Chain A
Amino acid sequence: MDLNDFLELFIEESKEHLQSINDQLLKLETEPENPAIVNEIFRSAHTLKGMAGSMGFEDLASLTHQMENVLDLVRNSKLSITSEMMDVIFSCVDLIERMVESIEQGGDGKEDVTDVVGQLRMIQNPSDPTNVQAGAYQESAAAVAEDIQFDQYQLSVIQEAKKLGNKLYQITIQLDKNCVMKSVRAYMVFQAAEELGEVIQSNPPVEQIEEENFDDSFSILLLSERDTKEIQAAFHPISELSEVVVRELSDEQETAMPIEKAQKAVKSNAQVLPKDKGDQGAAKKKHRSKSIRVDIEKLDHLMNLFSELIIDRGRLEQISRKSELTDLTETVEHMTRISTDLQGLILNMRMVQVEQVFNRFPRMVRDLAKELNKKVQLIVEGEDTELDRTVIDEIGDPLVHLLRNALDHGLESAEERTAAGKSEEGRILLKAYHSGNQVFIEVSDDGKGIDRGKVLNKAIERGVVTQSEAETLSDREVYSLILSSGFSTAEKISDISGRGVGLDVVKTKIESLGGSISIESEPGNGSIFRIQLPLTLSIIYAMLVKTGDETYAIPFSSIVEITKISKDQVSTLYGQKVIQFREQVVSLVSLKEVFNVPATDTVEKQELFVVIVRKGDKIMGLVVDSVLGQQEVVLKTLGGMLTNLYAVSGATILGNGEVALIIDSNQFFK
């Protein structure tokens, strides 16, 4: 069997475990006394070690092994958590991350681990500096055998069994290095053991053994009436076992630890019993409930095929309307309903929780806060909000920029905060939520807010606005200036943000995703950066309009409303055609003019259709000849050659097979 088949799985799972270690470590920093967290980390590290070992990544295995040892000491209250220790563990996790990345990119996952391993050893045994230079830890059956613990239920079972004349054995099995189907061998061992007596525990847990998540060795605890020799003999017929060690556990050995453990549990929290390894297996099983991994390309392909179907559906609708056959109309209507459901399902399948992007931020903020010497608490809300995968892939970097900006420019230093009568610790809130067909992501801080005067001075200095323009701008417009290119308000330029390229990149990126960004701020109380994004980028609702002989699609997301006005309602202001609309002066843009639509010799109409579109809180009217109706359209690009066209964001194929261009009305706003 080729190990490469498992490589992908290994990488995926390693990443999951690393993420969970990272999360839990951060939690541990705030609640160093909570044994449940240490247990959680220990489990992830343990699994990681097992996986790395069986895949043959020795450096990775030895590093995680050392980390596991430290965690084990913490878990058993032999070590208490210090901030230096956290730093070492964090750097250890970073190193593991690098290794996994290197493996992912086809490398061998080798890194120089001696330094970190040395540090980890120092923690375990500060009195013995000779340890530091020692080589990789030996991974043997004996190492696995170290940790035995029982919960109260198991203890009582053992005691009961002992009364009946059973003895407790620890059996450590070393599988042959060349053993191919490890789980099957393990299963045979279990079966043999069960014939001898009662298996009360195994390390690693049975579930992991079934999934082959273990090194070449594992151990089981067996209650049996037989003696050591008989047990040894029972395993003899199973081939590919290189070593079977049967050890009878004496009373002291088995009871010493559980008591200590129980006391600790009572001390820390009477309610929370330390979860044992059996629980972990159960939790894992739940997590994997009936899901399969599907190549993302397959989903993309499915989506493309479905798009084709939508086009044909549009065509069928047209034909049925023309033919006036009841049977056909009914069938098409039914098909429409089904395909709408199907579309929902497909889009849903492509939805990913923003958690995937959010989960790397707590760590980033922690590191950054340390670097900047600021105290900050990052609160993440709505991480289960779902977004299309295409959007998820793109949203990470802009959010990193915004968070850095909030941390660097938004939040004051601890001294400034105390002086302003705020709590020393700053607060950054990262929040995602749905609203209608849009997803909002907010990054808010409780820092000093944006200084209107400072922004304006800078903007005038940089030539972004003129002095006279500056006076008429609303607060919101002023704030949005910091998103324009070549702008940076930080007087001190740091390498975190403030190179003046950050925020305009964010704006460009968000807009290219069909979204928008707005800023609210209150001096002294902080700012909110709000990103608005469409749920999906591939199928959108659009209004089809006609100008001359040409059909265009305007996305619903930018339309406010559509109105009909008579010609004499249009007046001219500074050479610009405007109308009065709901007590607002709205300037008009004629689609015919901006798109140079060839004139069709119809008589000039007395009535005009105006599509009111918006960008942020500005609105304007697009004059079109007629409105054809709304339709779901599949967004397509114009191909590699036609990029960056004025006010055209893409194209779609209509029911009659013709191509209609999709208008990007944002570009009409100057």
Chain B
Amino acid sequence: MEIKQPSEAVSIMNILVEAIKKEQESYDYYYNASLKATKPATKKLLLDLAEWEKSHIEELEHHVAELKAQMEIDRAITGGI
């Protein structure tokens, strides 16, 4: 039986979607920890780290949007074949 390989674009999309999930988990981890922190310096550090993860999410989402835009164009050119 022939195994159909996913296209490069689909593979990258899967990687990006997975990466966003992991970044979201990291964001939640730091944010929830900040809620439990008692010292202001610790709270600030954890919130800074959470913001850092958020910026990663935004960057990855930009890549997803870019990839989707190109995939739509490719589909239009090839008729989805």
Our verdict on whether A and B bind, yes or no, reads no
Which residues of A line the B interface, CB within 8 A? none
Which residues of B line the A interface, CB within 8 A? none
